[in-house]
Structure 1
């Protein structure tokens, strides 16, 4: 017989079976089935289609397929039982490995995760969230299950307007709030609407700078000190400035009151926009609440917020509180259909806020994070009193100052011990000024570690702190000769007392 070629999909098994070869059709079919078993496409115990079905699919005579099945049963490749059909024998020949291109193995998870910005997922308030979800779904109007509104659900915008006015001193009604999927989405929308260039703090998230650059918005750095960004460096050419006024990220500390006023004056004089990233404005421990800059001038400041730190980043719910002139353009940039945040999750969050469950969750997490912060300070006082810790009056992370030239070696040593932690230099703007020091010209202005204390479990956190202390550089000769101070004394010396600040301004009537 000549060469015979046919191919078909075995019904019910999703197994491509290609019949190619010279000889009778029964032999070609048997060879194809043996190859399917060897390659693993037909696993031991897999059920084959009835011979009538396979014959129809392949265009073969029924007797041809029945004879092939019977012979493979006799050879031990297949097994047939009354009432259970024909299956691949459990003791069929060993599978020949299928050669596929090797893919990189996923990186092993660290033993201890002290990377900033990752709340402990076990802290999510499942019971309270479920109760809000049930109430929200029961009360949801029919239009909640239709095409979405790019503004976001009105129920959540109303709830957020009241909450932000009460807690953050924000002055805006629901009509000024546009919901989005988080701070990154908010920045994308603003980049499209506002254009560039933008000024940014010299220390900040590289991801945010890259996101702006991907939308054609260049950034230039503003120097940062203990009082936040030096906003006197702003110019008329800057279209916007991105700030973290409540707690400068990642160095810590609120933007000084005089600089808050100065940045608002700049925006009024130039028509520029202040973009306020309120990434952890709710988590303060050692000072009075600092109101949002937005409260000083709602027409020149945009406030960005989300639930990624207070609840979970997986919810993908954030918001922009906008000047009136930007609401329409931002909604237009977002599109005609809501594609980013689930309407049912928005309704659930609205109930969660209005029922008081969100306030309770924030208070609970604030207490938890403060305990974590205190454990970190105490561990450093015991094990590394020569290391100064800063930026801990608020937020979910601290900065550990290191001797010049030691940052990268410490980060590498931590990785070797299974400890995930980041260097302060990872957050420095590439165009920020650099100063030579003992580490050589071109080294970062400051050496340090950015230590997140929110992620580890309660049981694993003490061990994570021990691992951190093990990789810190030893004290110099002078520091080593100094007796270890008590934890409280170390803490008071390491954390300067901030100047008094005013509480948030009241909401507009």
Structure 2
């Protein structure tokens, strides 16, 4: 049955010259993407003019014989693109600026193409929720207000406006007291690690301790620049500081707020031991503030930097809140490293592009970033819950860790299971999952890393049901 939406705000059940939505043309999977695209096309080609009122989600869902959540999600996506607005008590309407927002690129398809692997391994957010319209408005404001100096060569340390915004953001969200002059803008966490490793090498520090298991990407970056990496075991309380003290390392990389991949928080006594080690050794703690923004079932964990700013290098980014493609991160280093880091950044590439920095500063200062983060937390918590339920249903005999925060779960497998082989068999079935062994240096128990951020609950359940059958955790 066709559902007609008329520009005057009414709707009826007959086709005409305005907009016919035929659910028979929707694919069996991906109805959200289909409805979103149908409405987007009608808005951008002028079929639905600014101010047109759309049917209530419950009504449109009934007429199209789809779940109400499908309509709600389609409206939400178009709202984040700036094409729809929701008026309290007044329903959902086509935005007045829809025509100017129509040039925004479309979100990624709701389903992977047949040749793509369904990736349930990546610890990334729901990138379809990137605030495209808000970012576009911020860029326009920046281009309208940017001074000649701001359009010239930027300070290699980062634009003053962004560093000021970040200083305020970090004080509110992470308990870090640092002035704008202490912050160095980098090309994400990877750029910060690379920059820091080069400066440490210049100062004669050619080795570093790392968590084991730990993020393979960080390990490879440090391994590129430094001579020796010391793997330090991680247990339920975080990094084993006693094992760290047995090495000759003068620097250590940790993820204290949400360890990757185990999800544990560095326990209070371990935090004290780690800072005492740094003080006694004259060492350096490199704090990767990984996934600190996403907390569901526990109170916030204060950044380690706040307790010992002259012994801790704090590095982070907003890749998990906005998008990795922005390549914007930051670093706060002890005083004796700061100037060398800034000089190295200048000698490398003169610093990061200024316009994206100014747009990000606008999002922070306007409160848009915090509103966006609150929305993402709710969405990701729902997906976390769906992934946990599916794992308990289909991966019998497995233990789940890292549930309280972040964008991924660690599934501990039975000892007899080869996680690398299981991941390879999953790839043959059409989806990617990371084996825990890929993030280890020393041998250890098997496991799988399940990233739930980008995937709606039905997709997660289908993938985990297949995984359960592949691993024979449940009857085929």
Q: Tell me, yes or no, if structure 1 residue 205 matches structure 2 residue 215.
A: yes
User: Could you state the TM-score of these two structures normalised by the residue count of structure 2?
Assistant: 0.72
Once the two structures are TM-superposed, the CA of residue 337 in structure 1 deviates from its matched residue by: 7.4
Distance in 2 of aligned mates of 1:472 and 1:173: 52
Please give the residue correspondences for 1:289-304 in structure 2 after superposition, counting only pairs within 5 Å. 289-304=300-315
Aligned to 2:238: 228
- Kept in 1: contact 2:345–2:351 (CA 8 A): no
Alignment CA distance shift 1:130-1:457 (3 Å): farther
Q: Tell me, yes or no, if structure 1 residue 281 matches structure 2 residue 281.
A: no
Please give the residue correspondences for 1:228-247 in structure 2 after superposition, counting only pairs within 5 Å. 228-235=238-245, 237-247=248-258
Once the two structures are TM-superposed, the CA of residue 214 in structure 1 deviates from its matched residue by: 1.6
Please give the residue correspondences for 1:33-432 in structure 2 after superposition, counting only pairs within 5 Å. 109-195=115-201, 196-235=206-245, 237-336=248-347, 339=350, 341-406=352-417, 407-429=419-441, 432=442
- Kept in 1: contact 2:318–2:328 (CA 8 A): yes
- Kept in 1: contact 2:426–2:432 (CA 8 A): yes
Once the two structures are TM-superposed, the CA of residue 461 in structure 1 deviates from its matched residue by: 3.6
Once the two structures are TM-superposed, the CA of residue 200 in structure 1 deviates from its matched residue by: 0.6
- Kept in 1: contact 2:262–2:401 (CA 8 A): yes
Once the two structures are TM-superposed, the CA of residue 373 in structure 1 deviates from its matched residue by: 0.7
- Kept in 2: contact 1:113–1:464 (CA 8 A): no
SS at match of 2:448: strand
Alignment CA distance shift 1:121-1:109 (3 Å): farther
Aligned to 2:42: none
Aligned to 1:78: none
Distance in 2 of aligned mates of 1:303 and 1:473: 43
Once the two structures are TM-superposed, the CA of residue 286 in structure 1 deviates from its matched residue by: 0.7
1:115-136 deviations in whole A, cap 9, x for unaligned?
2223332111111111222222
Distance in 2 of aligned mates of 1:468 and 1:362: 31
Return 5+ residue gaps in structure 1 as ranges.
1-106, 433-443, 481-509
CA RMSD of aligned residues (A): 1.9
Once the two structures are TM-superposed, the CA of residue 457 in structure 1 deviates from its matched residue by: 5.1
- Kept in 1: contact 2:395–2:468 (CA 8 A): yes
SS at match of 2:449: strand
SS at match of 1:234: helix
Greater Rg over alpha carbons, structure = 1
Once the two structures are TM-superposed, the CA of residue 356 in structure 1 deviates from its matched residue by: 0.6
Once the two structures are TM-superposed, the CA of residue 473 in structure 1 deviates from its matched residue by: 3.4
- Kept in 2: contact 1:133–1:348 (CA 8 A): yes
Distance in 2 of aligned mates of 1:459 and 1:374: 12
- Kept in 2: contact 1:273–1:302 (CA 8 A): yes
Distance in 2 of aligned mates of 1:256 and 1:197: 25
Once the two structures are TM-superposed, the CA of residue 238 in structure 1 deviates from its matched residue by: 1.4
Distance in 2 of aligned mates of 1:384 and 1:324: 50
User: Could you state the TM-score of these two structures normalised by the residue count of structure 1?
Assistant: 0.67
Choose 242-251 or 186-195, whichever is displaced more.
186-195
1:131-165 deviations in whole A, cap 9, x for unaligned?
22222222212112212211000100000011111
Once the two structures are TM-superposed, the CA of residue 348 in structure 1 deviates from its matched residue by: 0.3
SS at match of 1:426: helix
Once the two structures are TM-superposed, the CA of residue 401 in structure 1 deviates from its matched residue by: 1.0
Paired residues in the alignment total: 357
Aligned to 2:463: 464
Structure 1 stretches of at least 4 aligned residues deviating more than 6 Å after TM superposition: none
SS at match of 1:223: strand
